[in-house]
Structure 1
Amino acid sequence: MDVTLTAGRNWTDPACPVARTVDLVGDRWSLLIIRDAMDGAATFTEFLERLQIARNILTDRLRRLVDHGILDRSATGGRRHTYQLTEAGKDLFTTVVALRQWGERHAFAPHETHSVLVDPQGRPVPVLRIRGEDGSPITADTSHVRRAT
């Protein structure tokens, strides 16, 4: 991200990457806009129809995501624009998949139907697992944060 976008911001916890990420994309609508952009939505109307969001909220979130370098906006004629994920936006794919998979495990009753993310061959995306350089699993119980000094 461009340093000018971060300069002078009031961060929740300036030294924490999780807090900064949540400050940038952590509200419900921003994450759902990012999710839908990953699923092909590109115009204001497409986001509006998919999300059933108030126009003013959508306008605000799209502007913020563009300002934060998550989406690019391109004019398509007149007042119409399309939105595309930037490299920073595409980098959120793993985060969105992790949220999705957590939701599949913890936000649905057993056997309750839900959408499924699939690979190019139509197979469900495997469960994400964090592994160390040696291939061993890393969990909340086996990792810790080294604080900035």
Structure 2
Amino acid sequence: MQRTSFDDMRCPIARSLERVGEWWSILILRDAFLGVTRFDDFQSSLGIAPNMLTRRLRALTDAGLLERLRYSEKPPRYEYVLTPRGRDFRPVLLALMAWGNRHFATEGPAMQLIDERTGEVVEPMMVDAKTGEPIDRARHAMHAGPAADERIRSRVNTYRQRRAQQRATSTNSSQ
């Protein structure tokens, strides 16, 4: 069965998944953030088949998240380094790590974010870049953007109607 492409969808989540939605891609990016750059090191770290790793590295390079740089002429060898677009994926990885630690690490966290000045464990959270205020469900809601097509507008309007109903129900039950 042929995989559906999300490239033509206006949804930024779908378009992002087109680039990184396959689990090997996210694990390759994780390893790149940990300093892995060479094919053999990715393969060793991940236990991934060479043909799959080749496809994933090519896709991440084509998507502009990694750059392929030659480090040896004979034989020709390449390393893969994060681009600015790839480095912008870091908050997504940190959010996945925090979510995984919170909900699925029954034995305790295997990776943590540490403040290297204080040595304290850091709990990542999303904040509004303008105000510095934490993003939370009560205060912030998704809206259709200027480039939204009818499908996105419909999806977001349905979400907003449900949200309004939930708020009305919670207000009525608390009175």
> Cα distance 1:16–1:112, how it changes in 2: closer, same or farther (>3 A)?
same
Partner of 1:67: 62
Paired residue for 2:47, among 49, 52, 56?
A: 52
Structure with the bigger RCO (C-alpha within 8 Å, sep 6+) is: 1
1:132 shift after superposition:
6.6
SS of 1:145's equivalent? coil
Number of residues of Structure 1 aligned to a counterpart in Structure 2: 140
CA distance 1:18–1:124, change in 2 (3 Å): same
Larger Rg: 1 or 2?
2
Structure 2 unaligned spans of 5+: 150-175
Partner Cα separation in structure 2 for residue 113 and residue 87 of structure 1: 28
Check conservation: 2:6, 2:17, Cα contact below 8 A: no
1:4-33 CA-to-partner distances (Å, cap 9, x unmatched) read xxxxx9426611111100111111000000
TM-score, structure 2 as length reference: 0.71
Gaps of 5+ in 1: 1-8
Shift of 1:137: 3.1
1:13 and 1:98 mapped to 2: Cα distance? 26
Match of 1:28 in 2: 23
Matched, 1:79 2:72: no
The amino acid of 2:31's aligned partner reads D
Residue type at the aligned position of 2:37: A
Q: CA deviation at 1:107?
A: 1.3
Q: Output one character per residue of 1:19-73: Cα deviation in whole Å (capped at 9) or x when no partner.
A: 1001111110000000100000010011011111111111110011111111001
For 2:122 and 2:64, the matched residues in 1 are separated by 27
SS where residue 67 of structure 2 aligns? strand
Which residue of 133, 141, 144 corresponds with 2:142? Answer: 144
Aligned partner of 1:105 in structure 2 is: 102
Q: What per-residue deviation string (whole Å, max 9, x for no partner) do you get for residues 89-144 of structure 1?
A: 000001110111111111122x5342223243343233213337344432244312
TM superposition score normalised by structure 1 = 0.82
Give yes or no for the alignment of 1:120 onto 2:89.
no
